[in-house]
Amino acid sequence: MTSAPRNRLHTLRLAVGSAVVDGFFRGVSRVGALHPRANPKAHGVERLRDIAYLDDGLPEHRLDVYKPAGPGPHPVLLYIHGGGFRILSKDTHWVMALAFARRGWVVFNASYRLSPEHPFPAGLADTCAAWEWVLANAARFGGDPTRVVVAGESAGANLVTALAVAACYERPEPFAQRVFAAGVIPRAIIASCGIFQVTDTARYRRESGLPWWLADRLEEVTEAYLGGTTAASLDLADPLCVFERGERPARPLPPFFLPVGTADPLLKDTRRMASALDALGATAEARYYPGGIHAFHAFVWRPEAQRCWRDTYAFLDRHG
């Protein structure tokens, strides 16, 4: 008798919480963009906005290009934003793109379709389409198509890791088959504070005793991203589980950089990912930053964020 009201209350609680989080991050992004140092030109970077990587007119299928000064060809980085697969966009993640462009990378900062309107595998299919487009078009923006790195945080970390699976394993999904057929493996993967297993996000509540409001944010990821899916397999929603099965890839896996804060509720996913990649013989550099919350590296003025960025750049110097 009481299950329906509880379900309605739960749904309302999830919707309100998501709206608050989305509004907060969009607001912070807009305010930050007003700072003079947020202008790419202040760093010798040119930004080209809203370039379509799929010709269907959807705003979600657009990306921004950040071109550093100086003669090319420059190494290339495709950035895939986070936001639980259901909020945010390339426009909220300009700071990430600018940070890499300042270091001499041509950055392609992409949006993708969001759930629950577009459940799994829409976001991943879009990520794969952006990857194909970057491979075909990087050179005309001064990029070196033989040196392409893929990076993302949170949900974006999941998507770039699933892209690596598609590049290295033969899969049945049509979008994964196209990635594999392209024959290009990312030079490296930067997967920051990732949610690497989307199924059973209730495990965080069970295993970590999270407060209800934080557990809600995680469980709504599963509900929104997978709730309306018609996909035959959820493997690529859970790239961590693909690696944990121990199946050997058809091609060598790229090196992974896995930064995460120790106060991040997703910390265990990174620990599991590092162990799974190590068991497969892949390079996996996991770095743990004391006291760092989820996506702490976005707060670039903080000391632990600056350490994370230095470590990220050093990893790219070695592997990019």
Residue 212: predicted pLDDT: 82
C-alpha to C-alpha distances, 113 to 46, 116, 120, 201, nearest whole angstrom: 26, 9, 10, 21
Q: Distance between CA 234 and CA 58 in Å, rounded?
A: 25
Q: Which CATH superfamily is domain 3-319 in?
A: Alpha/Beta hydrolase fold, catalytic domain (3.40.50.1820)
Average confidence (pLDDT) per 10 residues, the chain, 320 residues: 45 57 53 61 96 98 96 95 96 96 98 97 98 98 97 98 98 98 98 97 84 85 95 98 98 98 96 98 98 95 97 97
Residue 213: predicted pLDDT: 79
Residue 71: predicted pLDDT: 86
Q: Distance between CA 69 and CA 104 in Å, rounded?
A: 8
Residue 12: predicted pLDDT: 59
Contact 163, 190 (CB under 8 A): no
Residue 263: predicted pLDDT: 96
Cβ atoms within 10 Å, residue 310: 10
Flag whether the pTM goes above 0.85.
yes
Residue 195: predicted pLDDT: 98
DSSP element (H, E) containing 198: none
